[in-house]
Structure 1
């Protein structure tokens, strides 16, 4: 199960890097190339959404069926193991939500850049008339 979380963490790191590249100020030509490349990566990158959703549902199911560990019943070692599993589950939920949120942010940024470029073309066309 750890490989799935490594893949998801790698995708989140890549999405964060792309989002930073899209939001950094750059010359117009460079920015348009970065937006075009990110737009090309969006369609195959959409596969991360069902993957993250499935992982989130798996976490939810495991959380509902997890044995509770109370102080009266558990030893300190069992309690420590239980708390570690809770912390890992919380980290993994953050990864799932981050993957979906960063994908949406990249999608919206690319869409805004395309709309701005279209509006600039319309403005240029109107000025030429």
Structure 2
């Protein structure tokens, strides 16, 4: 189970690095190369969205079927373990949501740069005419 969360954490880190790389001010030629490379990666990277959605469903199912530890019946160790699993579930939920949000941000940023490039080409054609 920990492997899938580690993979998701690495994906979130990679998406954050790509988003930062796309938003850094760079020369136009380098920016176009970066955007074209990211655009090629985006379609296969779309698999992160169903993966994160499945993980969210898994978290929801486990939280619904988890034994509640409230009241005087539980020992301190059981209560600590219950709270620890709750915090892990919250962290993992945040990872899933963040991975989808970062994917969307990278997609929109690259689409934005592509649209700018198309508009510049149209403007150049009108100036040439």
TM-score bucket of the superposed structures, by smaller chain: over 0.9
Instruction: Give distance in 2, aligned partners of 1:46 and 1:73.
Output: 46
1:3 aligns with 2:3: yes
2:90 is matched with which residue?
90
TM-score (norm 2): 0.98
Instruction: Give distance in 2, aligned partners of 1:8 and 1:85.
Output: 18
2:64 is matched with which residue?
64
Deviations 1:77-120 (A, max 9, x none): 11111110000000000000011000000111111100000000
2:14 is matched with which residue?
14
TM-score (norm 1): 0.98
1:123 aligns with 2:127: no
1:40 aligns with 2:32: no
Instruction: Give distance in 1, aligned partners of 2:33 and 2:21.
Output: 11
RMSD: 0.6
2:80 is matched with which residue?
80
Deviations 1:24-70 (A, max 9, x none): 11100011111011101101101111110000000000011111111
- CA drift at 1:71: 3.2
Secondary structure of the residue aligned to 1:101 is helix
